[in-house]
Amino acid sequence: MKKLIVFDLDGTLAESKPSLDAEMSGLLHDLLGIVKVAVISGGDWPQFEKQVVSKLPHDQRLANLSLLPTCGTKFYQYSEDWKRLYEEDFPADEREKIISSIKRALEVEGFRAEKVWGEQIEDRGSQITFPPLVSKLP
């Protein structure tokens, strides 16, 4: 029997960004009664809280669930409450360099978003993301 089952969140357990639906929440809760489960995604911890944690019953089965935000650069497990076991953040100077490099590249290419629905550059601490779909390309 398998000891651990790992799922990607967006596009596997849920559509990209929305929360688990009632059926998936129930299935995941049932699975947690049988085996350990890990969920990984590019989203940060607040996204996991919204999409996964808030949709599962708050019971002892959560001890079988591991959550890995920002592509596994953060790791959370449940023990009476959710605890972050590690977080591999970029140093502040490196994050600043990455963000300024993305901004320079956008300027060089003449990228101008007509409308932005979220942060154009997301600093998730351990991951810097430029999600082009938050911008409407010219």
* Residues composing the chain: 138
Are 5 and 37 contacting, i.e. CB atoms less than 8 angstroms apart? yes
Boundaries of domain holding 27: 4-87
CATH number of residue 83's parent domain: 3.40.50.1000
The mean-pLDDT minimum among 15-24, 61-70, 125-134 falls in: 125-134
The whole-chain average pLDDT of the chain stands at: 89
Q: What is the mean pLDDT of residues 26-37?
A: 97
Overall domain count for the chain: 2
In terms of domains, do 119 and 63 share one?
A: no
Among residues 78, 135, 72, which one has the least CA distance to residue 106? 135
Global pTM value:
0.79
pLDDT(92) > 90 = yes
Q: Measured between alpha carbons, how far is residue 97 from residues 37, 79, 120, 122, 128 in Å?
A: 36, 37, 16, 14, 11
3-state class (DSSP) for residue 115: coil
In terms of domains, do 129 and 97 share one?
A: yes
The tens digit of pLDDT for each residue in 45-83 reads 999 999 999 999 999 999 999 999 999 999 999 999 999
In terms of domains, do 23 and 73 share one?
A: yes
Buried (b) or exposed (e) across 17-34, using 16+ Cβ within 10 A? eebbeeebbeebbebbee
In terms of domains, do 8 and 52 share one?
A: yes
Query: What counts of helices (H) and strands (E) characterise the chain?
Result: 4, 7
Could you give the CA distance from residue 48 to residue 94 in angstroms, rounded to a whole number?
25
